[in-house]
Amino acid sequence: MAESSKQDDVFPIASIPEGAASLESIVSTEELRRRPSRPPDYEKENRALVALASALTDSSSDIFQALADTILDVTQCDSSGLSLLTRDNVGKKFYWPAIAGAWRPHLGGDTPGGFGPRMPAAKECLLVPFYAEGKAVGTIWAIMHSVRRQFDAEDERIMHALGQFASAAYRTMESIDDLRIEIAAREKAETMLRERATGLEAKIRRLVNANIMGVFIWNLEGKIVEANEAFLNMVQYNHENIVSGSVRWRDLTPEEWRGWDELAVANLKATGTVQPYQKEFFRRDGTRVPVLAGAAMLEDGGTDGVAFALDLSDQKRAEEAFRRVEEKARSIVDSALDAVVAMDADGIITDWNKQAEVIFGWPRPEALGRGMAETIIPVQYRLSHQTGLRHFFKTGEGAVLNRRIEITALRRGGEEFPVELTITPLQSGDTWTFSAFIRDISERRRAEKELRESELNLRQMTETIPEMLWSASPDGAVEYGNARVLAYTGLSAGELMGNGWLKSIHPDDADRVARTWMSSVTTGTPYRVEVRTLRAADRTYRWCVTSALPLLDPQGQILKWHGTIVDMHDWKQAQEEIRNTQVELAHINRAMTMGELAASIAHEVNQPLAAIIASGDSCTAWLANEPPNLDKARTAASRVIQAAMQASDIVQRIRALFKKTPSTTTPLEINDVITETVSFVDGEVRRKGVSLNTRLALDLPAVLGDRVQLQQVLLNLVINGAEAMAGAENEPRLLLIQSALTEPHRILVSIADTGPGIDPHQEARLFAPFFTSKPEGLGMGLSISRSIIEAHGGRLWATRNEPRGAIFHFALPTATANE
C-alpha cells in the first residue's frame, strides 16, 4: 500500500481479495521517498491538469479515461487506471473493478477489456486512493510491468494530485449520474403518468360519452364549460347554450340548495374533491330534477373542475311512491278502529298506530322501544304472557295466536280495561314479529251492561204498567203478553202464544179479527180493531180496542209487532150516552130556534092559506056564475091545490126540523140549503129590523151531508147574527150569507153581521158547550154547529167583520173530495 491513511478501516484486510502481488512486494511510502527522485516537471503537470479540467467540462463521460491517459503520461508507467471500490452482490466483500485504464503501446495493447492492478504481472505498482465526502471510493494506479524504471517521490506527489482530481471528477460524475438517474426516473415517471393519463382519459371519455350519468366541466366562476348529452338532457339545454356560456351551474341551483353548493366549493378548495351529495337542478322549463352530484378540481389550486350528476328522478319517484304506499299503509293502520301494535321476539314494541295511542295513552315515539308487557299488560298477567311467549318459541304453538280472545289490558294511567285481541306471529328469516289487533271493548261491555239493565227495566216496566201489552213475531204469532193481559183474559202465557189468544175473542168477532190481523201481518200496515174480548174476572165480553204497530229494521223488514189492548167498554158506553144527549140537545136547540121562528113560520104558512082561501072564494064565485065559468073555476081550483101543496111543503120542512131523525147523508146543493133556510128566517129577521142578503156562487159542486143538520147550523148562525144586532138601535143591521168555492174541493159558507162582534175575552170559550152571554140562552148553538160541521169533515170558525161585527165561516169538502 503506497499510502497509509486514516481511512484504513474502510479497507478491512479480510476484504481485500487475494491478488498476484505478495505482501512483501508492497513498498512503503517511506521507502519510496528515500529513492532518488527526478525533478518535478510542473509545466507538463499543469498542462495535464488543464487538459483534464477541460476534459471534465467538455465530456465528463470520458474523464476517467482521460485521467488514466494522464497518469500514463506524467508517471511514464506501463499501465494506469482507475478502480472503484465496490461491494459484491451480498455486500460482504470489496473489490476494485477498474473502470478506465491505459497501456503503454509497446506493451501491446489498446485499452483492454478487463484489467486491473494485478494483470499482467506487475513489477511495481503505485496506488493512490481518492475520497468523496470523506469516504474512500476508489483508487488511481500506475503500474510498471518492467524494470525500466522505479517509481519515486515525484510520482507519488503527482499521483496524489491526480487522486484529488479523481475525487473531484468522481464527485462531478456522481452528481451528473445522480442527475441523470433523477432525470431518467422523472422521465420514466412522466412517461408512465402520460401513459396512464392517456389510458385513464380514454376510459373517462368513454364513461362521459356513455351518458350513463351527467358529466360537466365547470369553473369556480360558476360557468359550465363542457357537458355531456346526459347532463344536457337532464337540464334540457343543448351544446349551443353551453358554448355561448349562458348555462351557469350556480343559476341551475335552486335557492335552497345554494348553501350546499357553497359547502361543496369550500371542500373542493380545501381537498380538491367533494363527496357525492343530493341536490336539485332547475331544468330549462323551471321544473326541478333531483340529482346525486359529486365533483373534483382538475388541478390542485386550480379553478376548473369536473362534476357528475346522477338523475335521481326515478329513484325519487320510486321513493315517493314507496313513501306514499307506506304513508297509505300507515294511514290505513292509523285509521283502523283497532289498535295495531307489533313487538319483536324480545317483546320490544316495534309498531304502534294512532288508535294504540288513543287506547293505551302512550304516544308512538314513547311506546316504540318499550317492552310490550310492561306497557300494556297488567302486572298480574305478565308472567303468563312471558310463559306463553316461551312456549311459542319452544313448540311453535300458542294458545292465543290467530284467534280472537278477550283479555284485560293496562292504560298508561294504570286503569285496567277489557280488550279483544288477535295476535299473528310473522317470521322473516330468523326474526319473529308479533302483530296484534286490539280493540277496546270497555264501551261495549258498558253498553251490554246498560242494555241488560235497560232490558230488565223495560221488562219490569211492561210487567207493572197498568196497560195490556203484547208482542208478536213478524209472521203474526203472539210471543208475549204482559201480566195485565194474562190477568184480563185469564189465559196462561202458554195459552196466549201463537193464536191461542183467539180463545178470548167473542165468536161473532173472531173471524173478522183474525182476518184483519193476518192482513196487517202480510201488508205491514198498522193493526187496529174493535173487538169484544172475554174478561175473565166476570166472564163478560167487553169492547176492547186492540192495536199493534210493526217495528221495522233499516231495510223496512218487520222485526216484531208490538201491541196494546185497551178496554173501551165503559168509554164506548159513555160515548153512546153522550151521542144520545147530543142528539137530544140538538133537537132542543132546534125546537127552541123554531120556537123563536114561530111567528115567521105562521106567516109563511098563512100565505098559502090566504091564497087557498082567496082562490077557493074565486072558484066558488066562478062556479056561481050563470053559466058557471068552468075554465076560470078550474084555474082557481088549481091555484088552491098549488097553494095547498106549498103549505104542505112548508109544514113538511118544519116537521123535519122538529123531528128527531137519525142523520142521513145525501148529495146536496149548498145554495139550496141556504135559500131554504133563508125562507124560514126571512120574516123573523126582518121583524128585527135586519136586512138579510145572500151572495151565492153559481155552479157550486155538491156536498155530501145531512140537509136538516146543515140547515140547523145555518139557522143557528143567522139567528145569532140577528140577535147580536138587536141591541144596536141606530146602526145599520146587515146580514150577508155568501157561498164560494175556495179550493178545488172545498166550499166556504160565511154569515157576516154588523153587530158588536165577538168579545175578545169570550173568544176562547165561544164554541164551548153551555157558553152563552144571553139571559135566555142555552149556549149549545155554536157547540152543536161545530160538531155537525166536523162530522161532515169540515171546519167552523169565527173572525172579525170590518168595520164591525162578526163573520162565522164553515168550510165543507165537496162530494167529489169525499170520494
> Given the rule CB under 6 A, which residues bind ligand ADP?
716, 720-721, 724, 753, 755, 758, 766, 771-774, 777-783, 806
Report the distance separating Cα 142 and Cα 155, nearest Å: 9
Q: Which CB, 389 or 737, lies closer to ligand ADP?
A: 737
Q: Which CB, 524 or 779, lies closer to ligand ADP?
A: 779
State in angstroms the smallest separation of the CB of 762 from ligand ADP: 6
Instruction: Name every residue whose Cβ is closer than 8 Å to that of residue 721 and which is 6 or more positions away in sequence.
Output: 690, 735, 751, 752, 753, 755, 805, 806, 808
Cell reading at 105:
503501446
Q: Does the N-terminal peptide bond of residue 627 adopt cis geometry, omega within 30 degrees of 0?
A: yes
* H/E element, 540: strand 540-552
* Cell 149549545, residue located: 780
Residue closest to ligand ADP when measured from CB atoms = 781
Q: Which CB, 571 or 797, lies closer to ligand ADP?
A: 797
Report the distance separating Cα 532 and Cα 8, nearest Å: 159
State in angstroms the smallest separation of the CB of 793 from ligand ADP: 22
Q: Are 95 and 84 in contact (CB under 8 A)?
A: no
Instruction: Name every residue whose Cβ is closer than 8 Å to that of residue 556 and which is 6 or more positions away in sequence.
Output: none
Cα atoms found within 13 Å of the Cα of residue 719, Cβ hemisphere only: 23
**What are the phi and psi torsion angles at 735 (to 5°)?**
-125, 125
Report the distance separating Cα 544 and Cα 470, nearest Å: 14
State in angstroms the smallest separation of the CB of 684 from ligand ADP: 15
State in angstroms the smallest separation of the CB of 467 from ligand ADP: 38
* H/E element, 670: helix 670-687
Q: Which CB, 475 or 790, lies closer to ligand ADP?
A: 790
Cell reading at 744:
178545488
> How far is CA 341 from its chain centroid?
20
Q: Which CB, 482 or 716, lies closer to ligand ADP?
A: 716
State in angstroms the smallest separation of the CB of 683 from ligand ADP: 20
State in angstroms the smallest separation of the CB of 805 from ligand ADP: 7
Q: Which CB, 436 or 735, lies closer to ligand ADP?
A: 735
Q: Which CB, 95 or 771, lies closer to ligand ADP?
A: 771
Q: Identity (one letter) of the amino acid at 685?
A: V
Report the distance separating Cα 764 and Cα 769, nearest Å: 12
Report the distance separating Cα 338 and Cα 330, nearest Å: 13
Q: Which CB, 280 or 753, lies closer to ligand ADP?
A: 753
State in angstroms the smallest separation of the CB of 593 from ligand ADP: 9
Q: Which CB, 660 or 774, lies closer to ligand ADP?
A: 774
Q: Which CB, 531 or 713, lies closer to ligand ADP?
A: 713
The angle at the Cα of 697, spanning 694 to 703, to the nearest 5 degrees, equals 105
Three-state secondary-structure class, residue 775: coil
State in angstroms the smallest separation of the CB of 655 from ligand ADP: 23
Q: Return the number of other C-beta atoms located less than 10 Å from residue 33's C-beta.
A: 12
State in angstroms the smallest separation of the CB of 801 from ligand ADP: 9
Q: Which residues pair with 439 in a beta bridge?
A: 420
Q: Which CB, 285 or 776, lies closer to ligand ADP?
A: 776
Instruction: Name every residue whose Cβ is closer than 8 Å to that of residue 430 and which is 6 or more positions away in sequence.
Output: none
> Exposed, middle or buried: residue 761 (CB in 10 Å: 0-12, 13-18, 19+)?
exposed
The angle at the Cα of 327, spanning 323 to 332, to the nearest 5 degrees, equals 150
Q: Are 695 and 736 in contact (CB under 8 A)?
A: yes
Q: Which CB, 532 or 733, lies closer to ligand ADP?
A: 733
State in angstroms the smallest separation of the CB of 657 from ligand ADP: 16
State in angstroms the smallest separation of the CB of 799 from ligand ADP: 11
State in angstroms the smallest separation of the CB of 555 from ligand ADP: 54
State in angstroms the smallest separation of the CB of 761 from ligand ADP: 11
Q: Which of 567, 513, 558, 565 is nearest to 538 (CA)?
A: 567
Q: Which CB, 458 or 591, lies closer to ligand ADP?
A: 591
Q: Identity (one letter) of the amino acid at 301?
A: G
Report the distance separating Cα 693 and Cα 293, nearest Å: 108
